[in-house]
């Protein structure tokens, strides 16, 4: 059951995405979606005068030997012609599918029809109520994104031993502000990320994860070191004798493909309201990890699918790291886990 505080938080954000009276809104969900998010989105859209329709599709049967989560590549639409017709006819699609449409094959068709898509992360609604909106966040995200697009090389280093280089020629870059920006746009809420999807063959070096870093596929803070050696985008060696390294090797090995070990995207978090310790205060089923991806100053390294590099797989890890330094060419962006002043909130 939803609550007024959740409806209010959703309505405020839908208004920021320019939902206004008379617009056609489709709330897209699947049979295993978090129902409170679906109900909250519908009521919030109605409160702003949206002409709301629900499209609910069955969650498809799993085709993998392990649980797949938090990929941003929902398979629920499965090319369903009637569902796609409704989505193409919308002014605004509020995406409440479990995995989200960001990397779903149908997204391009929906956007090309002029709909704007707001992906609502599969979080407990308390997260949306707690993460108060920062009106300066879009400006800072766009500033960081501009720096990324102007750079030729991203380098990640840390006192723990990380030294990873990402050549940025041919990269697809994105900034997550949380706001749609007109017809044919897509946004992810909560927002606050700057990311690069590198072209093939552009990532080399060493990534060292330590205690307190996070594996978001498992919703687990690491308790022991995991050392990754990356050659031509791919993790070719997973070092570490603890259970965290064993889980890493076992899970990705279950997919039986090389692409699961490849670099998906690399970037950093920008949202000062997001909290590193939020996973410790949530039941594991209540968190989808968006807050951990977006908290200010974290470095996010992810394995798995990367359309820009022509790689597709269901194997996926999102790995937020603390205490890293990020440079773009000679520009310092994140200094040992802290955003530089230009990217940090005023004051």
CA distance 191 to 110: 21
CB-side neighbour CA atoms (13 Å) of 73: 14
Residue 97 burial by CB count (10 A; 0-12/13-18/19+): exposed, middle or buried? buried
How high is the pLDDT of residue 103? 86
Evaluate whether 255 touches 112 at the Cβ level (below 8 Å): no
What are 56-115's pLDDT values in tens digits? 999 999 888 888 887 878 899 999 999 999 999 999 999 999 999 988 999 999 999 999
pLDDT digits (tens, 9 = 90+) for 173-200: 999 999 999 999 999 999 999 999 999 9
- The per-residue pLDDT for 69 is 80
Which band of pLDDT confidence, cut at 50, 70 and 90, is reported for residue 263? very high
pLDDT at 284: 78
Rounded Cα–Cα distance for residues 249 and 226 (Å): 10
Q: How far apart are the C-alpha atoms of 120 and 123, rounded to whole Å?
A: 8
Q: What is the per-residue pLDDT for 112?
A: 98
Q: How far is CA 215 from the centre of its chain?
A: 13
How confident is the model at residue 70, as a pLDDT?
A: 76
Which runs of consecutive H residues, i.e. helices, occur in the chain?
4-16, 35-47, 81-88, 107-112, 125-130, 137-150, 243-253, 290-294
- What does the pLDDT look like over 17-53, one tens digit per residue? 999 999 999 999 999 999 999 999 999 999 999 999 9
pLDDT on residue 11: 98
Phi-psi region of 162 (alpha: psi -120 to 50; beta: other; left: phi over 0): beta
Q: List pLDDT tens digits, range 264-294.
A: 999 999 999 999 999 998 887 778 889 999 9
Q: Nearest-5° angle of CA 284, CA 289, CA 291?
A: 125
The pLDDT, as a whole number, for residue 258 is 96
* Average pLDDT of the residues of the chain: 95
pLDDT at 89: 98
* Domain ranges within the chain, ordered by starting residue: 4-130, 137-343
Q: Which fold is adopted by the domain 4-130?
A: Rossmann fold (3.40.50)
């Amino acid at each position: 059951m939803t609550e007024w505080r959740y409806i209010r938080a959703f309505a405020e954000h839908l208004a920021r995405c320019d939902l206004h009276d008379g617009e056609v809104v489709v709330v897209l969900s699947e049979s295993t979606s978090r129902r409170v998010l679906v109900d909250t989105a519908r009521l919030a859209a109605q409160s702003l005068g949206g002409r709301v329709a629900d499209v609910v599709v069955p969650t498809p049967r799993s085709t993998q030997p392990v649980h797949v989560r938090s990929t941003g590549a929902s398979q629920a639409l499965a090319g369903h012609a009637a569902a796609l017709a409704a989505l193409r006819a919308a002014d605004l699609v509020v995406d409440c599918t479990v995995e989200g449409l960001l990397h779903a094959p149908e997204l391009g068709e929906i956007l090309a029809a002029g709909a704007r898509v707001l992906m609502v992360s599969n979080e407990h609604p308390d997260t949306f109520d707690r993460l108060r909106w920062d009106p300066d966040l879009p400006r800072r995200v766009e500033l960081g994104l501009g720096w990324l697009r102007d750079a030729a090389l991203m380098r990640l280093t840390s006192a723990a031993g990380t030294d990873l280089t990402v050549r940025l020629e041919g990269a697809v870059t994105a900034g997550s502000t949380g706001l749609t920006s007109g017809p044919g746009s897509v946004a992810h809420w909560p927002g606050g990320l700057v990311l690069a999807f590198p072209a093939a063959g552009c990532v080399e070096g060493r990534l060292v994860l330590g205690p307190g870093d996070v594996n978001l596929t498992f919703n687990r803070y690491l308790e022991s070191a995991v050392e990754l050696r990356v050659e031509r985008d791919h993790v070719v060696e997973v070092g570490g004798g603890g259970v965290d390294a064993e889980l890493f090797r076992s899970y990705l090995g279950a997919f039986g493909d090389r692409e699961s070990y490849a670099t998906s995207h690399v970037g950093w978090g920008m949202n000062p309201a997001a909290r590193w310790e939020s996973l410790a205060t949530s039941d594991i089923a209540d968190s989808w990890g968006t807050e951990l991806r977006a908290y200010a100053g974290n470095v996010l390294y992810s394995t798995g699918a990367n359309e820009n590099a022509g790689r597709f797989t269901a194997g996926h890890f999102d790995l937020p790291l603390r205490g890293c330094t990020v440079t773009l060419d000679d520009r310092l962006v994140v200094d040992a886990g802290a955003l530089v002043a230009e990217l940090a909130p005023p004051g």
